[in-house]
Structure 1
Amino acid sequence: MTATITFPAPTSVQIPAFSVAGISVRTRNSEEMNPAIARLGGLWNRFFSQSWERQLPSRGDDGRIFGVYSAYESNEHGAFDVTAGVAVAEPHLAQAVPGAHRVDIEAGDYLVFTGEGDMPQMVIDTWMRIWHYFADNPQVQRRFGTDFEAYEGPGKVSIHVGVVL
């Protein structure tokens, strides 16, 4: 007899628009599966080693760090941008920091998937759950506008995936 692992169902939330500033890379999921060309690990290493969370002006008050997925070429198989950053209260000031990139989170409906555990595996596992969820629920359509990871603390993430309701 095999054990069945159950995960909490995603919650549906309405998110108002907000902005995140930080540093970005363009990648695709197929590239991230190959350690020789993967870019996300390097993005996050650079974000923390260069203390980007402290360099950005007018940071949002909640102190969370975000990973924002945007500028989708098509769907989960196409290229997209990933920005590691923090919410900014005054988005126009982000351009004052050399190398900073600003992305605007779209207002709308999001499904929220949570993960806990050791980094980075828990984020990878949570995204695997997300892909399985959408494969098993074809009636739920992703928007492919902006999606984001909100890091709630060490080893805890909430991944917000934009959907069309």
Structure 2
Amino acid sequence: MQKTHPMEPFRQHHGAFHVAGLTGRTTNRAEDDPATARIGALWNRFFGEETYRSTPDRTGDARIFGVYSSYESDAHGAFDVTVGVAVADATGSVAIEPGDYLVFEGQGEMPQMVIATWERIWQYFEAHPEITRRYRSDFEAYEGPDKVAIHIGVS
């Protein structure tokens, strides 16, 4: 299999929307240790319980989302992770804030592909300190089992 060079991120403006599903709280440090990692289990439960089928008020957006919100501080603090689908009703959902996002695309086998895409994101922001992350709402949008677009809120 030939490796392709990942595309540079691009800037995109989003209006507000809502995602509902399963939520947990974690830290990047906890996710580095299989004994304390929570995100994988949240995804497994979401698919195992077919949460996407039972979520009320779904919109026409067929993508599945992983949303990062309620940041305590920055990449080192605690944050909420919500695995879910876009919904029309804000009740019991997490809000994707309107604004500008840098979009990083990834394609390949899960979960390695999404981990590699996050590594690219962290490297990108280390190399570009002039670009400020908002740490309000970031999200992964999955169009299929091997394709993701990770949206990082920026000022």
Which TM-score applies when normalising by structure 2?
Answer: 0.95
Helix, strand or coil at the partner of 1:59: coil
Separation of aligned partners in 2, 1:6 and 1:120 = 18
Separation of aligned partners in 1, 2:81 and 2:59 = 19
Residue in 1 aligned with 2:9? 10
Residue in 2 aligned with 1:98? none
List runs of 5+ in structure 2 lacking aligned partners.
Answer: none
C-alpha displacement of 1:7: 2.5
Residue in 2 aligned with 1:116? 107
Pairing of 1:14-163 with structure 2 (within 5 A): 14-92=13-91, 95=92, 102-163=93-154
Separation of aligned partners in 2, 1:18 and 1:138 = 28
Compute the RMSD of aligned alpha carbons. 1.0
Separation of aligned partners in 1, 2:89 and 2:56 = 8
C-alpha displacement of 1:58: 1.5
Aligned residues: 152
Which TM-score applies when normalising by structure 1?
Answer: 0.90
Of structures 1 and 2, the larger Rg is shown by 1
Separation of aligned partners in 2, 1:157 and 1:139 = 25
Identical-pair percentage: 58
Poorly superposed stretches of 4+, deviation over 6 Å: none
